[in-house]
Amino acid sequence: MNVLLLYPAFPDTFWSFKHALRFVLKRASSPPLGLVTIAAMLPSEWQKRLVDVNIQSLKHTDLDWADMVFVSAMVVQRESAQALIHRCKENKKLVVAGGPLFTGEYTEFPEVDHFVLNEGEITLPPFLADFARGAALRVYQTEDYADLHLTPTPQWDLVDMRNYDSLGIQFSRGCPFNCDFCNVTALLGHIPRVKTSQQIIAELDEMYRLGWRRNVFFVDDNFIGNKKILKEDVLPALIAWRKGKKGFQFITEASINLADDPDLMDLMVQAGFKSVFVGIETPDEGSLHECHKVQNKGRDLVSSVKTLQSRGLQVMGGFIVGFDNDNPSIFERQIQFIQQSGIVTAMVGLLQAPYGTELYSRLLKEGRIKKEMSGDNSDGTTNIIPRMDAKVLQQGYSRIIRSIYSAPLFYQRVKTFIENYKPVNTQVDIQLAEIYAFFSSIWRLGILSSDRKYYWRLFFWSLFRHPKHFALAITFTIYGYHFHKVMEQSALSAA
């Protein structure tokens, strides 16, 4: 059996880093962790081939070779997934689909032959057994949650790693919190389920064996959901594993209460974590109460962010406008919060209601769901009818992103961050890609850009006042270039 593992294209989004990746000669941010994990669960005698259309086109020879096609996608990949599935069916291929997009919308894909939904550790084995005896069902679903101790090491040898900036790894699934707009708990539950440290080390060993030396993204929706296991087992194991190794800087997602635990922050930094995405959402207490964001309530959020930064963690922040509680003052308050906190990578989006969330159920009853969501958190669209006047909301949103990614505010925010950032280890792992990016930034941002004066001011300010963070400052200018490009598109659609 020849199995083609097919990954649809991402549109140009905030998290695609499409424009920034050109500076480091990469074609995509990360390969599809879900598909290479599924590949490891398929029969070992089957031949497998991965085609990620974010880095390569789907060729006729790939389809001619394949007996079966597995497609996995997130909601934001919907359009590409539809086109790829249609092409597969035109070539009379058997199509099997899974992943978040299909788990929520499988009825919208009539061309798919079989759906393996929810968590593959549970739903893939019965599909394979039924398929082997010629009696496969169309839909395999479950309300149970998988035992991650049974999850195999992803089959990374299917991936051409030269095209990516980071690889993915998953320690846990599930989140203890209950934010009403988030579908993580609907899909994965409230009790974090975890892998063993031995599993994590085995996955890292495989990456290292294959020559990987760059970033690794722990894709957990809340990495600190089980602090005890992290402190006592996983983080000490990571610290021991990284000794004597180059590269392998870790990135993850966590809730803001990480700032309340100095020991956990210090262990994460020692283990190699450099960046953490945090859902800040809003500085408005009423809106936090509205969406059940209890972990963010009753605290000085700016102070919490600065605590994380001062401990050596770069904070990437998620922000939302359009809560029922919001009034027009929220737009300026969001701008001021983002500037004061020094969150360089700030993703701001309109409130959306994913299928399966408490928010979706409530708004559906109120007749306020108007269309399917795009899956892009920062494209200026929403699938709900807001309480605030829609035109006011769109204009306010456009004002936020035009402001925070304008050169004066963005470059000032980089300075604010650098002045507060105090990592224990300031050593930078410079590879050929980073050298190319440095000279490319001088050309594109220091010479060709109309905002070049801000680039040079930051260049010399960081070089002479914060030389240990000079490379980081240049990296942020490249991020800013990408964010500005995406901002222009989002502001256009929001206007």
Q: What is the pLDDT of residue 380?
A: 86
Q: What is the pLDDT of residue 432?
A: 87
Q: What is the mean pLDDT of residues 314-327?
A: 98
For the chain, counts of helices (H) and of strands (E): 20, 14
Q: Tens digits of per-residue pLDDT, 66-107?
A: 999 999 999 999 999 999 999 999 999 999 999 999 999 999
The pair of structure tokens assigned to 2 is 């020849």
Q: Tens digits of per-residue pLDDT, 236-258?
A: 999 999 999 988 999 999 999 99
Contact 384, 363 (CB under 8 A): yes
Contact 284, 333 (CB under 8 A): yes
pTM of the model: 0.95
> 261-270: buried (b, 16+ CB within 10 Å) or exposed (e) per residue?
eeebbebbbb
Q: What is the pLDDT of residue 424?
A: 82
**Domain 165-404 indexed as CATH 3.20.20.70:** yes
Q: Residue 166: pLDDT above 90?
A: yes
Percent of the chain at pLDDT above 70? Answer: 98
Under DSSP, is residue 115 helix (H, G, I), strand (E, B) or coil?
strand
Q: Is the dihedral of CA 371, 374, 377, 380 positive or negative?
A: negative
Q: What is the mean pLDDT of residues 439-461?
A: 98
User: Where do the domains of the chain lie?
Assistant: 2-140, 165-404, 432-489
Q: Tens digits of per-residue pLDDT, 455-469?
A: 999 999 999 999 999
Q: What is the pLDDT of residue 490?
A: 60
Q: What is the pLDDT of residue 375?
A: 85
pLDDT classification of 437: cutoffs 50, 70, 90:
very high
| Distances in whole angstroms, Cα of residue 92 to Cα of each of 35, 69, 87, 138, 311 | 22, 11, 9, 17, 55
Q: What is the pLDDT of residue 367?
A: 97
SS (H, E, C) 157-221: HHCCHHHECEEEECCEECCCCCCCCCCHHHHHCCCCEECCHHHHHHHHHHHHHCCCCCEEEECCC
Q: What is the CATH number of domain 2-140?
A: 3.40.50.280
Average model confidence (pLDDT) across the chain: 95
**Amino acid identity, position 403:** S
Q: Give the separation between CA 176 and CA 478, rounded to whole angstroms.
A: 35
Q: What is the pLDDT of residue 186?
A: 85
Which of 382, 381, 399 is closest to 328 using CA atoms? Answer: 399
To the nearest 10°, the Cα dihedral for 155, 157, 163, 167?
40
Contact 313, 265 (CB under 8 A): yes
Range with the poorest average pLDDT among 61-65, 264-268, 323-327, 378-382: 378-382
DSSP state of 384: B
The pair of structure tokens assigned to 247 is 């590269």
Q: What is the pLDDT of residue 376?
A: 84
Rounded to the nearest 10 degrees, the angle between the axes of helix 407-420 and helix 330-341 is: 40
Q: Give the separation between CA 364 and CA 354, rounded to whole angstroms.
A: 11
Helix (H) or strand (E) run with residue 124 in it: helix 120-132
Q: What is the mean pLDDT of residues 13-27?
A: 92
Q: Give the separation between CA 360 and CA 224, rounded to whole angstroms.
A: 26
Q: Are 2-140 and 165-404 in the same CATH fold? A: no
Q: What is the pLDDT of residue 493?
A: 52
pLDDT classification of 491: cutoffs 50, 70, 90:
low
